[in-house]
Amino acid sequence: MSHRPKLGIILNPTAGRGRAEQIEKQIIELLRLRNIVFQLEKTNGPLDATNLSNQLGKEYDIIVAVGGDGTVNEVATGLIGSTASLAIIPTGSGNDFNKIIGISTKLEVAFDSILAGTKKLIDLGSVTIKNFSGITQNKNFINVLGIGIDAQIAKETKRIKYLRGLPLYLLAAIKALSTYSPNKYIITDGDKTREEYVYLLCAGNGIYEGGGFKMLPNADPSDSKMNICLIKKMSVLNAVPLIPRIINGTHLNHKMISIWDSKSLKVSSREPFIIHGDGEIFEEDAMEVTIDLLPKVLTIIVPNDRRNAL
């Protein structure tokens, strides 16, 4: 970058079981020592990060999301149409989107990468959700949107207070597998429609979810298409051995799994279903969703040693 960028910093104090709040003073001291112009704001609840990033994006060059994937999601949504870039300080429980961006968890290294980094244009996912009561809402996702047991696992992680990262999501997956009953979905992609019982359906802009599950190894956030993974209904005995394969990204040729690219997907069911975006529950009683892609609407900062990764 040709000049020293001004930073707008949005910190979610609850991210990573409170880890984000613990590093607030370090961030302030580090940036003051480097004479960086910045403004730090903390979130107090849902949508705060979106409103703050929308405001700060008018004045600052880079908006830094200090938190997990949910915080990154909200900050990214507020920056749609802005000339400001998004950067990440990963302090959440999973930090799945950052696994492909590659910002260090060490603060000094992270800010070095952000201040000297490369700008990349990426896509965002968009979803329109109609619930059991007929209420419609629109949401965005930067990493992965999931339907079925995928979303049930995200819900279970909120109840587990003593773990982070992959161990957290593994335990949540085991708990979800023991109680979850698959729905029958009608899935329409272009002129093709299929109807079947599905354990999981996810649409990905990013490769990882669930703290390190390589669910969509072919996904690329800058290729103007979504990667879709569908896992058909199966017994728990068959599902459990799949977990290590999904962690390693070696599940693509499994006979009960379909992987394909899409730009728009419609999913509906006769029974309410749960849906998450970037690890946050979007709706627990969805009846119909339309998933679309917003191509090249967000500029993100990537470390120079990862600039060819996206």
Percent of the chain with pLDDT over 70: 98
Percent of the chain with pLDDT over 90: 75
| pLDDT for residue 259 | 95
Q: What is the mean pLDDT of the chain?
A: 92
C-beta atoms surrounding 219 within 10 Å: 25
| pLDDT for residue 275 | 96
Four-CA torsion 142, 53, 80, 118, nearest 10 degrees: -70
Name residue 65's beta-bridge partners.
10, 88
Residue 181 φ then ψ, to 5°: -115, 120
pLDDT in tens, 116-140: 999 999 999 999 999 999 999 999 9
| pLDDT for residue 21 | 85
Residue 177 φ then ψ, to 5°: -60, -30
| pLDDT for residue 1 | 45
Name residue 195's beta-bridge partners.
186
Q: What is the mean pLDDT of residues 196-205?
A: 94
pLDDT in tens, 39-74: 999 999 989 999 999 999 999 999 999 999 999 999
pLDDT in tens, 225-250: 999 999 999 888 888 888 899 989 99
164 pLDDT more than 80: no
Domains of the chain: 7-116 (3.40.50.10330), 124-295 (2.60.200.40)
106 pLDDT more than 80: yes
- What pairing do the DSSP bridges indicate for beta strands 264-277 and 183-189? antiparallel
